Chain A
């Protein structure tokens, strides 16, 4: 909740510096050795689950990120189950036999170009959504969704919310932990960019994910870099990674509950 307050404050502070002009310029940036980027996870919903492997590119290149083929990707849990993933398309490795189970710790091992990258994530128990309500958006004529759910008392919970509008997953990163809110009925408002307000007739699916601390820290710091997290930082840094050996990206084990609302 306090993240929302801060984000809101930040939006208005930014809006205050409005009398400025912007221009695209050329900046001479260093090139670096390409780094490995890992994206994917395992959930308590039936699979298959996908892990995507790509590399970084120099900033002035087009946004085509080379897929890493021929890597060895393995997911295992702490109950003796494991699977070696198969590459179903360039850079995409699929896991088809495992089913995510709350309470288990899942480990990802990626072996590519002679380097090994590992990450572990705990799959928490699911938390259901109580209800979804609609509010008028703060600016403009659209609407905003509020997600209501009750946080289990006595344990530390981390949440991530995915907003899917008319079948398309929105990129904004929403989430909260339960500090200051443990055991209470939490309301999370999913603020949108002005041009992305919800309009009447939109079908909105909300997925409430329960994630572990490492995943939450990753998405929180990723949000700071992608603009969902507040004013630009003095010293931007790479998101806090849960993957070893300098790999970027994330591996997250989560449980999820969904609900749908039609905007009227």
Chain B
């Protein structure tokens, strides 16, 4: 029986009214994500603002003292007499320097205790400003690696591993658009310009049902919307790159825009060299983030955001290699009622690389690309203070060009196109956030996802040794193979008291895009392939248990989580696999299972002159692949027994802050030779077991000093000095086994170290 919406509202309204609105930054008008709204009279009742800063709380009529707070902001309390549904926005001012030790409602800063989700790492954008990193470039990917359970893929590599999963098992989203290659300069820096970002959250495998597509994690990055009150310029000049951000209102308090750009200029120094093998070299990257939004009325708001970045390497006109991501997101927020929030997004994402070679009369060009078009619809229904429902749909169309090669040689030109891959990914999800008691919260749901490999193209099947057996041709729009998968998600939080809680979570994740890479560092030419006749979707099941405890009135946060993750349909490669430009690349793949388990410990100090954290992870990650290591379990490359991160930020005074980071981790599992022999005059290494050895342990200390030269309400200027690898440890980037160049009767092991002491200076300004 159909009940008109208004009547429905009035019926449930008998006894309850809805308090809803946005939480915003007082200076810039930016909506605050994840701000908590709590009611003093009703402990355990509360709301958290969503990705657009919106909250909705349905309460019985009465007089309440409602407080909104967010990390880095002063809490704000409003007294309200709730006699009808009303809109209330909270405008929060930035917190003063920790010096003043403002103890404002610190009782309620126990979000880590009360939130149901576990395995979540949320980065405080202000904290990132003070953490020293390589070359003075603030980097969200490098900072997230300082949290337990998240491991760096190594120097010269901005990939990361979460709870033993591979580097391609992390879904990196920038305003909901997938970023396929998140690194600049072959992995030394990430593509994210911190100036343009508002929120960075990492889910370590037990993500809610609205997320899907990769096994191990989701890194959800949201761009800032822009200051809707005043124009502002912010930027920095550093040793290796400079950046500039311009933001301001389109219409004051109704709409705003922000544009941030960044470019390196290492290549300008190269041009000064007299050596022609240096001054013809090109090496640079740039990126641009842009966003605009407009509040049409109280119920409708639209956003348009985009990212464009490119890396260029080259040498004269003989050689050129460039790669880059481009993303675009168009969104529409709509409030159907004060309890039903909807977001519709249209998303585009593209990653491609181009190689150009010209040598005498020979010229070659290679192009490869992965592109997707995505339509996403999300609803949040805030039924009442104990029940919230999230549901929606997601449809993504993938198009992959694995390689298009054009070769021109004197008169002849030949063109070869590797067959394109087409895939269509769909998902529908439903999550119920349920608080039956103030001390017991559940968040559970299910995601139903499907993946279809589509024509046109020729699809092969292979024998176990990789010989093609059968080829079938499909036309455009044909469904070659469809996989349908059910992904349940479950999380429960047992709040022991306001200082401690215990949590349990289970989640199944699937993945239909697989990255093929067999080089030591993530190479821009790594290839993404979709699930197909031969390649099944990867599936993982993760269960985790955690204990959370705060001390000294929430000054210290402590947590420990243990997890076990089981992975199926994992991919590895035959010995000597040819992954590039291979029409039958699937014949090079071997399949099996993986498993990872570990314990994470985290202690954070949030207040006082000294803040920071210590994280420690003890873990194991293994694989068992048919055809490798005799079918026995072997250590995954990312298996690292110990992983320690210590971060400390100390405010000497209003003007001076010093910071330090110390990391220590067990080396990667690697394959080293167990002997050698001679063939055709070459001394050749002889290998036995896969990943049977370890790289040496890695540790490093970084130090940084920030001098806030001038800070007023409107302007800021500061100098930042940092020293990467302060005690110059010669960490091993690689160890190779080769012939001794001085003594042909011997061989030797050579360790390559990338960075020892690297100082840097950056000047930052804001007005």
By a beta-carbon cutoff of 8 Å, the part of chain A in contact with chain B is: 1-2, 5-6, 8-9, 12-13, 16-17, 19-27, 29-32, 34-35, 37, 39, 54-59, 62-65, 135, 138-140, 146, 169, 171, 180-181, 184-185, 187, 189, 217, 220-222, 224-227, 231-240, 248-250
Partner of A8 from the list B313, B319, B409 (CB cut-off 8 Å) is: B319
With a cutoff of 8 Å between Cβ atoms, the chain B residues found around residue A54 in the complex are 677-678
The residue on A at minimum CB distance from B676 is A59
With a cutoff of 8 Å between Cβ atoms, the chain B residues found around residue A189 in the complex are 359, 362
A sample of 10 more A-B contacts (CB under 8 A), given A13-B313, A23-B753, A27-B672, is: A13-B523, A21-B753, A27-B735, A31-B675, A37-B677, A57-B676, A171-B680, A189-B362, A220-B578, A236-B687
9-residue interface stretch from B64-72, B436-444, B514-522: B514-522
Considering the chains assembled together, what is the distance between the CA atoms of A237 and B625 in angstroms? 15
Considering the chains assembled together, what is the distance between the CA atoms of A196 and B753 in angstroms? 27
9-residue interface stretch from B40-48, B251-259, B740-748: B740-748
User: With contacts A23-B730, A26-B749, A234-B517 known, is A135 near B360, CB below 8 A?
Assistant: yes
B675 to A220, Cβ gap below 8 A?
Answer: no
A35 to B321, Cβ gap below 8 A?
Answer: no
With a cutoff of 8 Å between Cβ atoms, the chain B residues found around residue A235 in the complex are 518, 572-573, 637, 671, 690-691
Q: Would you give 14 A-B contacts (Cβ < 8 Å), ordered by A?
A: A13-B186, A13-B321, A30-B674, A31-B675, A39-B680, A59-B673, A65-B678, A180-B407, A185-B409, A227-B738, A234-B637, A235-B572, A240-B576, A249-B677
Considering the chains assembled together, what is the distance between the CA atoms of A26 and B751 in angstroms? 9
With a cutoff of 8 Å between Cβ atoms, the chain B residues found around residue A225 in the complex are 684-685
Indicate the member of B573, B679, B756 with the most A CB atoms within 10 Å.
B679
**In the assembled complex, B355 has its CB within 8 A of some CB on chain A:** yes
Considering the chains assembled together, what is the distance between the CA atoms of A248 and B688 in angstroms? 12
**In the assembled complex, B298 has its CB within 8 A of some CB on chain A:** no
Considering the chains assembled together, what is the distance between the CA atoms of A60 and B672 in angstroms? 13
Considering the chains assembled together, what is the distance between the CA atoms of A113 and B368 in angstroms? 52
A20 to B753, Cβ gap below 8 A?
Answer: yes
Within 8 A of A (CB), among B709-751: 730, 733-739, 744-751
Indicate the member of A16, A32, A63 with the most B CB atoms within 10 Å.
A63
B747 to A231, Cβ gap below 8 A?
Answer: no
B745 to A2, Cβ gap below 8 A?
Answer: no
**In the assembled complex, B60 has its CB within 8 A of some CB on chain A:** no
Considering the chains assembled together, what is the distance between the CA atoms of A221 and B277 in angstroms? 31
A5 to B366, Cβ gap below 8 A?
Answer: yes
A232 to B407, Cβ gap below 8 A?
Answer: no
With a cutoff of 8 Å between Cβ atoms, the chain A residues found around residue B573 in the complex are 235
User: With contacts A62-B745, A240-B576 known, is A171 near B359, CB below 8 A?
Assistant: no
The residue on B at minimum CB distance from A162 is B680
User: With contacts A12-B315, A54-B678 known, is A237 near B745, CB below 8 A?
Assistant: no
Q: Within the complex, what minimum Cβ distance (angstroms) separates A117 from chain B?
A: 14
User: With contacts A63-B683, A180-B405, A226-B684 known, is A220 near B690, CB below 8 A?
Assistant: no
The residue on B at minimum CB distance from A34 is B675
Considering the chains assembled together, what is the distance between the CA atoms of A10 and B730 in angstroms? 25
Partner of A248 from the list B283, B686, B734 (CB cut-off 8 Å) is: B686
**In the assembled complex, B545 has its CB within 8 A of some CB on chain A:** no
B520 to A12, Cβ gap below 8 A?
Answer: no
B412 to A232, Cβ gap below 8 A?
Answer: no
B186 to A16, Cβ gap below 8 A?
Answer: yes
Considering the chains assembled together, what is the distance between the CA atoms of A27 and B573 in angstroms? 27
With a cutoff of 8 Å between Cβ atoms, the chain A residues found around residue B470 in the complex are none
B686 to A135, Cβ gap below 8 A?
Answer: no
The residue on B at minimum CB distance from A140 is B277
Considering the chains assembled together, what is the distance between the CA atoms of A180 and B17 in angstroms? 70
Considering the chains assembled together, what is the distance between the CA atoms of A169 and B736 in angstroms? 26
| CB-based closest 6 A-B pairs | A221-B576, A237-B575, A56-B675, A56-B677, A27-B749, A32-B674
With a cutoff of 8 Å between Cβ atoms, the chain B residues found around residue A234 in the complex are 517-520, 637
With a cutoff of 8 Å between Cβ atoms, the chain A residues found around residue B677 in the complex are 35, 37, 54-57, 65, 248-249
Considering the chains assembled together, what is the distance between the CA atoms of A13 and B671 in angstroms? 22
B520 to A233, Cβ gap below 8 A?
Answer: yes
The residue on B at minimum CB distance from A62 is B745
B750 to A2, Cβ gap below 8 A?
Answer: no
B580 to A6, Cβ gap below 8 A?
Answer: yes
Q: Within the complex, what minimum Cβ distance (angstroms) separates A243 from chain B?
A: 12
With a cutoff of 8 Å between Cβ atoms, the chain A residues found around residue B619 in the complex are none
With a cutoff of 8 Å between Cβ atoms, the chain A residues found around residue B752 in the complex are 20-22
Considering the chains assembled together, what is the distance between the CA atoms of A225 and B687 in angstroms? 11
With a cutoff of 8 Å between Cβ atoms, the chain B residues found around residue A35 in the complex are 675, 677, 686
Partner of A21 from the list B518, B690, B737, B756 (CB cut-off 8 Å) is: B756
A5 to B357, Cβ gap below 8 A?
Answer: yes
A59 to B674, Cβ gap below 8 A?
Answer: yes
**In the assembled complex, B318 has its CB within 8 A of some CB on chain A:** yes
Considering the chains assembled together, what is the distance between the CA atoms of A235 and B682 in angstroms? 20
Q: Within the complex, what minimum Cβ distance (angstroms) separates B456 from chain A?
A: 20
With a cutoff of 8 Å between Cβ atoms, the chain B residues found around residue A13 in the complex are 186, 313, 321, 523
Considering the chains assembled together, what is the distance between the CA atoms of A184 and B408 in angstroms? 12
